[in-house]
Amino acid sequence: MLKKRIIFTLLYDRGFFMLSRNFRLQKVGDIKWLQKNYNFSQISFSIDELIVLDVSRDAYDQEKFREHLRILTEGCFTPIAAGGGIRTLAHAQTLLRSGADKVVVNTLIGENPQIIQEIASEFGEQCVIAAVDVKEVEGQFTVWTDNGTKKAADNLQPWLELIAEMPIGELYLNSIDRDGTGQGYKLELLDSLPETFPIPVIIAGGAGNHNHLSQGLKIDMVDAVATAHLFNFIGDGLVQSRNCLYEEKFDLAMWDAKRTNGLRDCLIP
């Protein structure tokens, strides 16, 4: 059995890292701010993967994004996935050659799945993460693309069935309703998964403390939990969260045994 994972997600918009609430963005700081507040050479021991998403709304600056991606990879020893605006094989290639180990696709799922096939054929399906952003509308889970601005499907379940047939390595299942709220994951989304879904699942959207991470990890079909809540995890927040999960006996990788000594108090909701 594969170990469970904790993933930290960074949201990027034309040179700045962002805080998101229900997909409404607020500028937080640039790469220097990030380096000051998040020492990734240390945080690497508290997370299992880093995801960096370019969520620029007006126009993507791919060159600047790749430059900042390279800076992040220099100090981070965990796998890094990158995405945002990927429409071509060439775009995916540039991200993977800029330090990313995986790419995250979203809009391509409905617009041009052939490109996903091409990326998987060249780099392997384990390099492809399908991100699905979900909003509840009149009691129905609907799928949104283009940074949450375009409704792509009225029903989540057929969308997930479509993904199950694609060369996808992981599913990043994200709740727009819970995004940035710190109220916990919308675990009901998991009920839409096909009974024999073959792809590892990352649940995202809503985590604000270690208890939320724990609730997600307790579910068998969840392989990883993700958080993009910048302020809740500044300082040693991620370290404390992982240590609390060790105490709960979750089967997490032990990257640095020294960090498990003298466990500190768990984060308070």
**Helix 237-247 and helix 210-217, axial crossing angle in degrees, nearest 10:** 40
Residues serving a catalytic function are 133
Which residue stretches of the chain are H helix? 31-37, 40-43, 62-75, 89-96, 108-111, 113-123, 156-164, 210-217, 237-247
C-alpha distances (whole Å) from 232 to each of 50, 139, 181, 254 are 16, 30, 11, 23
Q: Which long-range contacts (CB under 8 A, 24 or more apart) does 95-102 make?
A: 95/66, 95/69, 96/123, 96/127, 98/66, 98/69, 98/70, 98/73, 99/69, 99/70, 99/72, 99/73, 99/74, 100/52, 100/69, 100/73, 101/127, 102/126, 102/127, 102/128, 102/129, 102/169, 102/170
Which residue stretches of 180-236 are H helix? 210-217
Which residue carries 């990927």 as its tokens?
A: 86
